[in-house]
Amino acid sequence: MSLPPEAEVPSRSRRTPGWIGLGWVAVLSVVAWHHIPRAHANHTHTGGTQLHIATIHGNNGTSTTPGDQDEQYCVQSRTASIDGTRMANFIEETLVKLSTIWDGTASWRVDLWRASKFCFDYDSATRATIEYEYHIKDDWTEVSLCGTYYSCVVFDNAVYDGYHTHYKWGYSYLQTEHVNGYDTRARKFINHETGHILGLKDPDYYGHCLNSVMHNDLYSSMGCTDPVWYPTANDKNSVTRIADRANTW
Ligand SMILES: [Zn+2]
Ligand SMILES: [Zn+2]
């Protein structure tokens, strides 16, 4: 398929007015057009509003309990073809149990914790304390950015922290077909979408490729051929710059 497999944008969702998302679609297109990334580093959202979850700048909690600066996530299957527990186990393995993972990035300011229940099984007050969610469905036409073919990431609940505006909540909407193999390709999608949750961008233009789970062969339509499925040193360095608030370019 020649279509790019995914995309990301801050957007409307059931929790926020639609005009927020529509406004940022327009702004993002301008930012992307003018952005010229440095060589050998992948790029991030910069400026007064940045697309990442707000907890990325801090680390607290203990080795057994997440703090309010850690990142909790829940998983929700929304298709009969995906067993929710199996998928939650697979996502957890991909994020925190393998040898090449996002967990621990930026001196543990990325500290990922699986919530014990599925997203829909929480009351709204408790669910609001969970930083991000993975939803799996056969078709995401209800999320316009994803549509029928793409997995995508949507942010909600913008907050200003004295430095910039970022988001309290993020959602990774995964297409069933992208992850139902429970294989390396599925991990590639999970790690890529998680990279968006942490603030990384896709290639800006054809040939904008490097050793990165954000610039890999999911973007063959942009000329990228690297099959890497896990977060690389490039990726982790970029997330560290976001956590440091040093991503000014
Ligand atoms: Zn931030
Ligand atoms: Zn992407």
| Residues, CB within 5 angstroms of ligand 1 (ion) | 166
Is 1 within the bounds of a domain? no
Mean pLDDT of all residues in 176-182: 98
Specify the number of domains making up the chain: 1
pLDDT tens column, 96-141: 999 999 999 999 999 999 999 999 999 999 999 999 999 999 999 9
Is 245 within the bounds of a domain? no
Is 206 within the bounds of a domain? yes
Is 231 within the bounds of a domain? yes
Ligand 2 centroid to 193 CA: how many Å?
6
CATH number of the domain to which 164 belongs: 3.40.390
pLDDT value at 201 more than 50: yes
More confident residue, 70 or 1: 70
Is 248 within the bounds of a domain? no
pLDDT value at 77 more than 70: yes
Per-residue HEC secondary structure of the chain comes to CCCCCEEEEECCECCECHHHHHHHHHHHHHHHHHCCCCCCCCCECCCCEEEEEHHHHCCCECCCCECCCCEEEEEEECCCCCCHHHHHHHHHHHHHHCCCCCCCHHHHCCCEEECCCCHHHCCHHHHCCCCEEEEEECCECCCCCCECCCEEEEEEEEEECCCCEEEEEEEEEEEHHHHCCCCHHHHHHHHHHHHHHCCECCCCCCCCCCCCCCCCHHHHHHCCCCCCCCCCHHHHHHHHHHHCCCCCC
Q: Which ligand sits nearest to residue 145's alpha carbon?
A: 2
Ligand 1 centroid to 7 CA: how many Å?
20
Q: Which domain holds residue 22?
A: 6-239
Is 31 within the bounds of a domain? yes
pLDDT value at 218 more than 90: yes
pLDDT value at 40 more than 70: no
pLDDT tens column, 130-144: 999 999 999 999 999
